[in-house]
Structure 1
């Protein structure tokens, strides 16, 4: 087991709190307050009305917990994730880590500190890795950027991270094309864990995987969380996945939060009609698509 404070062999990089800077240790890992994002339509005259992508979203993410952000395409969940990651500046509102506000415009130093608090795993593992770089080197590169590690210690720490995500050491020198989709996503998770983050945003991180591999990755994420106490913000449209991994659920529609609460309560006793619609749209065991009626119209000869 690799502890939350573990680093490369023989190296000491200080306590985990240093990555976030001074702050209230009792504060949530992540606190989002009244976050809003509007986009101005592009055009010759930019005369269109601004599009509200995220509208007044607030929530907290506690240490070692998983919050699922659920909604259909266009609900604003990915824009929300991008603002939390500092990839998109909010129009208004704030994002706080351990009680300290994230700068609206981050400098290089801010981004380095930010990366040691929160990381992101994207949907498509086929596009997340450099096809010319070995998967071991992809993880080592992050370690060298954040920690003072020599080549040998960097390699050893990478092997530890591969152990954590259940990848064999003989894959360290493999190129991404030599790995399956599930193995590539495990590499992306190992790379995210390399900075010893306190939280990871997973944006549809299992959507591109088949059901069996999805289950394996979700079990892996649960085991990693138990070992490291890392928090997850799990962005998804799949309520079946939410039931397996989430402690709490936040449901978004048209940029707004329409329901928020414990996962079991929201999924089993939804209060908002939109949440009920999402739940009722999940295929049940034995469900088959409706057969289209036969076309009885006469065939027109060629």
Structure 2
């Protein structure tokens, strides 16, 4: 009588192994294609393929046909530490005079009462870069492009110095605990999303990343959606586009609401 071969079907361990593998495959398919889509609120609108790609942090269309392609592809501005150097007092004064043209949208003291971004207390290198991008057409806005084209290098530096001099918007104190939106606090590593506070303040402040505290929520939503669609493309190395394309509408709304929070009357005293 010949000994039983270890890989023969008559071996009970082989049958158990194959059966377990089949069961695991079935459970994985049910979880990925039935359970997860069922609990996603936007599954009907986005579709199964979009949901899978968004979860993996990948674009749903490699051809880019759905992306809104407007304007140049990127930015030509090279950030330099000199942009953040302490300016002379005269530069702040000249910037204050130039800023009179900006008050209708950005407020008399750089704090917007509309959906335009707050500029008070913004880092000077951020304002310099954005104005240069508007001037060159790398960032699109009919109003801002027209205004920026009339600015010299010195004008831009003076405006940046003035707005950086102004006090920032007052926001509610932040405790970096589990009450924060997940993307703000820890990001989503499986989707290649770094935490917001690693660049925009909290854990670290990346040079050239804007201060977001107190920004109008609608403005933040618009910009994240523009990065996600490709309508805004002036982020260096596509950093924000790579993040935003993996974000859901709900996540965009949560992040915007967090940064737009206002200080209560008691906290402002």
Say whether the fold is shared (TM-score over 0.5). no
TM score, norm. by length of structure 2:
0.24
Q: Kindly indicate whether structure 1 or structure 2 has the higher relative contact order, using CA contacts under 8 Å at least 6 residues apart.
A: 1
Greater per-residue strand proportion? 1
Q: Which has the larger radius of gyration?
A: 2
Greater per-residue helix proportion? 2
TM score, norm. by length of structure 1:
0.22
